[in-house]
Every structure is written in C-alpha cells, then in structure tokens.
Copies of this chain bind each other. A is one copy, B any other.
Amino acid sequence: MRSAFYISDGTAITSEVFGHALLSLFPTEFEHHTISFVETIEKAYEAKEKIDKTSNRSGQPALVFHTFVNNDIREIIDRCDAVIYNFLEPFIAPLEKELAIVAKPTAHRTHSIHENSYDNRIEAVNYALANDDGSNVNDYEDADVILVGVSRSGKTPSALYLALQYGIKAANYPFTDDDMEELKIPTFLKPFHKKLFGLTIDAQRLIDIREGRMANSKYASARQCRMEVREVEKLYKKEKIPFINTTKFSVEEITAKILAETGLQRYKY
C-alpha cells in the first residue's frame, strides 16, 4: 500500500485536509502518516529519515504533501526518497500577480490563535456545555442557534462542533414525549422561534443507536422511535422550523448545512 505523509511546520491540518481531499479522488487505499511541528533543521532530518525508511520498506516512493514556507526545511524535505507535492506553490505566483502583493511567508499562520477567535470559541464551548440537552432553559437569549430534536438525533456533537470550529453558541433541547403529544413547542422556546433548528433521523438508525445505549428498553423500541420521529417531523412542519435529516451525514456536513440554511456568521476568520 502506498504511504502518504502530511507534514508541516505547524499542526499539519492544512496538509491533511487537502491531501485527503486529493487522494479521495483515487480509488485505492493509502497508509496515512502525519508529521506536525517540523520547525527545525533537526526535525526536518528526522522526518526525512522516517519518510525514506517508509519508501524503502514498501519498495514504492511515499507521497509527501507539504505546505512549507521555510526554504531550509523545504530543501531537506525535497531531498527525500519520495514524490513531493508542495500544495501552496502552484498558487502563490498567480496570486502575487493578481493581488500585486508579494507573499510574505511566516510559519504557524493558519491554525494558530488570532483576532479573538480563541476566546470566542472557548466561550462558545462553555455555552454549549452549559446549555446541552435542555439542562438550562434560561439563557437562550445568548444563543446563536438552538438545536432541537429527539434524543440521539445528533444535537450534542453538532452543537459542540459549531462551538469549537466556528465560535457559534449553540444550545440544544431534546423534545420530550409531552412536547410531541401536544404537537407544540414548549413555552420557554417560543420567544426564540427564529433560532430553532431541527434535527431528525431515520427511525431504524435511531433504534440502532438507542439499542447500543439501552438495549431492550422502551426508549429503544421500534414503536417508540418511529412515533418520536414521525411526531417531531410533524411538529417541524407545523411550526415551520427548518430541519435536516442527519442519518447519512457527518457532523461536518450537518453543521455546514445548518450554517448554509441559517446564514449564521462564523467567527473563525
């Protein structure tokens, strides 16, 4: 199996994300390796040794994806017994021309702390935790969005992802049997109707997830899960709450859809 290395002088997240997107176009398997914080000549030689060994062991040159801006380090990596792809290079000259600005590479640009984004994100994580699963219904004034849905439809991971990645304050509230029987949203949510965003899920997937947590319970029964999903979707439609079905989506996709549909501004940049 061909090895792919994602390396960088910082977190290597850019190399990983981009390299992964690129390799996913090829219908074959790869062995993935990440080497982060290659910030010194010494570490560059360590990385080179690891890459060379991998190439030699497998008899095929490893693929190396990097975003280095430091020339000394880049030159060492370029000498690896591997195929080297510099992700940024093809775009720098065209962008310099278009912007009429010379690129000024500095290390640790992308995933380091900048412009209050860190405080925003930590504050948003604290908010999501304090307002998880209906545990607090008194601070919805501060919410950017309130995720609603039946238990185990994906609210908590989505709220945490919105907080960690985008600094968005997402509360989440689980509809109860009572809410659904009466087919109405609880009184304390009404003033925040515009902030509500619904999640739903296929009944069979919900049964599987709940069985994993509480086997043979009423909570996990087919009858209960089907009823909850049917009623909650009726409620969304009646109350005109935008919603998505999370069954086939990753947390990245769920949250990207929430951002797209609500037009919420992210604080990452």
Q: Which residues of A are interface residues toward B (Cβ below 8 A)?
A: 2, 10-14, 17-18, 20-28, 32, 34-37, 63, 67, 69, 83, 85, 87-88, 90-92, 94-96, 98-99, 101, 103-105, 108-113, 117-118, 121-122, 125, 129, 132, 154, 156-157, 160-161, 164, 248-253, 256-257, 259-260, 266, 269
Known: A22-B88, A88-B21, A160-B160. A28 touches B101 (CB 8 A): yes
Q: CB within 8 A of A11: which of B24, B125, B253, B269?
A: B253
B85 touching A2 by the CB < 8 A rule?
no
Q: CB within 8 A of A37: which of B32, B96, B113, B256?
A: B256
B98 touching A252 by the CB < 8 A rule?
no
Q: Tell me the smallest distance from the CB of A242 to a CB of chain B, in Å.
A: 14
Question: Bound state CA distance, A14 and B20, in angstroms?
Answer: 9
A95 touching B28 by the CB < 8 A rule?
no
B156 touching A112 by the CB < 8 A rule?
no
Q: Tell me the smallest distance from the CB of A224 to a CB of chain B, in Å.
A: 21
Q: Tell me the smallest distance from the CB of A159 to a CB of chain B, in Å.
A: 10
7 contacts between A and B (CB under 8 A): A21-B87, A22-B91, A25-B88, A111-B252, A113-B248, A113-B249, A121-B157
Closest 6 CB pairs of A and B: A11-B256, A111-B252, A24-B109, A25-B103, A90-B90, A14-B21
B260 touching A37 by the CB < 8 A rule?
yes
Known: A25-B88, A63-B98, A125-B157. A112 touches B253 (CB 8 A): yes
Question: Bound state CA distance, A137 and B154, in angstroms?
Answer: 26
B83 touching A98 by the CB < 8 A rule?
yes
Residues on B with C-beta less than 8 A from A98 are 63, 83
Residues on B with C-beta less than 8 A from A2 are 99
Closest to A256 in B: B11
B112 touching A160 by the CB < 8 A rule?
no
Residues on B with C-beta less than 8 A from A259 are 34, 36
